[in-house]
Amino acid sequence: MEDNKNETSNIVWHQSDITKEDRQKLHGHKSLMIWFTGLSGSGKSTIANALQHELYKDGSSVYLLDGDNLRHGINRNLTFTEEDRKENVRRTAEVGKLFVDAGVVVLAALISPYAADREQARKLFEPEEFVEVYVKCSLQECEKRDPKGLYKRARLGEIKQFTGISQPYEEPQNPEITIDTTVMSVKESVQEIQSYLKNKIHLREEV
Ligand code: ADP
């Protein structure tokens, strides 16, 4: 780690002559990170996918960073220890930051159970560029849904480090949006986020 720090301190940031604002102009809208957090099975991927579809239909450049998918590639060497979950969040946020710099609306859907890690992620972005969406759902309901059969395996002890069962989930205290999926449909959830985003993305005349 120490060596790493010394190496990076010798690296100078090279300023691109095309800015984020230039790229946003090209895309015709602002870019930002919409960060979905919540228990496994709460509905993060489902809602993020549906929102992605609507934004795409609307002509926005949008990309979904799905936590499970990233674990097949950039995060494939990470486990589910607290340390590795922290790194999982850090990398996802850093990748998301590149997308935002590229002028894209980026959606990240991952449990991200620790508040401090989410706060670190937020710090990488400008205040108006980070939208935390808490996909709220009781453990009981998530366990009932169990779309991937993971809760069952966690209860059987086949999965040792499972959020909500053997590891904590720290609820967001001040998320920009809270979606309670025990009472809201996927469609209603998407509409709620879209209405929040309305004047935040499509500012063609202002970018
Ligand atoms: P996560 O990404 O949070 O692990 P998923 O989106 O993979 O969760 O799974 C959520 C499951 O719950 C899906 O099978 C989805 O169809 C179901 N579900 C039921 N009601 C809702 C709702 N209101 N919002 C989102 N998902 C819901």
Q: Confirm whether 56 is domain-assigned.
A: yes
Residue 67's nearest CA partner among 83, 97, 87, 51 is 87
Residue 125 sits in a domain of what CATH number? Answer: 3.40.50.300
3-class secondary-structure state, position 179: strand
Q: Confirm whether 120 is domain-assigned.
A: yes
Q: Confirm whether 159 is domain-assigned.
A: no
Residue 55: both structure tokens together = 């934004």
Q: From the CB of 37, is ligand 1 less than 6 Å away?
A: no
Q: Confirm whether 59 is domain-assigned.
A: yes
Q: Confirm whether 10 is domain-assigned.
A: no
- Tell me the per-residue pLDDT of 27-62, one tens digit each, with 9 for 90 and over: 999 999 999 999 999 999 999 999 999 999 999 999
Provide the residue range defining the domain that includes 119: 20-139+168-201
- How far apart are the CA of 91 and the centre of ligand 1, in A? 24
Q: Confirm whether 197 is domain-assigned.
A: yes
Residue 106: both structure tokens together = 């980026």
For the chain, the domain total comes to 1
- Tell me the per-residue pLDDT of 123-164, one tens digit each, with 9 for 90 and over: 999 999 999 999 999 999 999 999 999 999 999 999 999 999
Q: Confirm whether 108 is domain-assigned.
A: yes
Q: From the CB of 181, is ligand 1 less than 6 Å away?
A: yes
Q: In the prediction, which pLDDT does 8 show?
A: 77
The residues assigned a catalytic role are 112
Give the percent of the chain with pLDDT over 70: 94
pTM: 0.94
pLDDT bin (cut points 50, 70, 90) of residue 16 is: confident
- How far apart are the CA of 145 and the centre of ligand 1, in A? 8
Output the DSSP codes for 50-114.
HHHHHHHHTT--EEEEEHHHHTTTTTTT--SSHHHHHHHHHHHHHHHHHHHHTT-EEEEE-----
Q: Confirm whether 161 is domain-assigned.
A: no
- Tell me the per-residue pLDDT of 94-133, one tens digit each, with 9 for 90 and over: 999 999 999 999 999 999 999 999 999 999 999 999 999 9
